Amino acid sequence: MNEKLAIPAKVWNGIEFSNYIEIAQEVSSDSSSMRRWIALYAMFNISDEIKNSINTYEFLKNAKDFKYCIVDFEMSKKLIDFNDGIDTRDTVNFKSLTANTEDQLALLFEKEEINPALFVPPWRCDYPL
């Protein structure tokens, strides 16, 4: 486990050793018709070509000068069940936060009440973006 951030070591190593662009967790939503995720993007694992591409998510373009980007959003369960192509325009309550250090990340996790121990590779929590 990353001591400073409390992210499981196996998951954090995926970020540190460039295996993962993002890690994520599904958390409960206030609405039974929605699903909610929180993701941590390692901006240093994303190439400049991708960061600057016209097809790149806007939140990644806005975070390109930072080391980390946290996103928190909800999506309709119906939309997830019936669509193959999910876009950030389909999200609700979208929030994006940036940080350059692990200390800043830890402060954001605390402020936003994010439990870093729940992060997993994106496919383990059906992360849609």
10-residue mean pLDDT profile of the chain (129 residues): values are: 81 91 96 96 92 86 95 92 75 95 96 97 93
Which string of b and e fits 76-105 if b means at least 16 CB within 10 Å?
beebeeeeeeeeeebbeeeebbbbeebeeb
CA distance 78 to 59: 24
pLDDT of residue 85: 66
pLDDT of residue 82: 76
Among all chains, which residue has been given the structure tokens 């901006």? 43
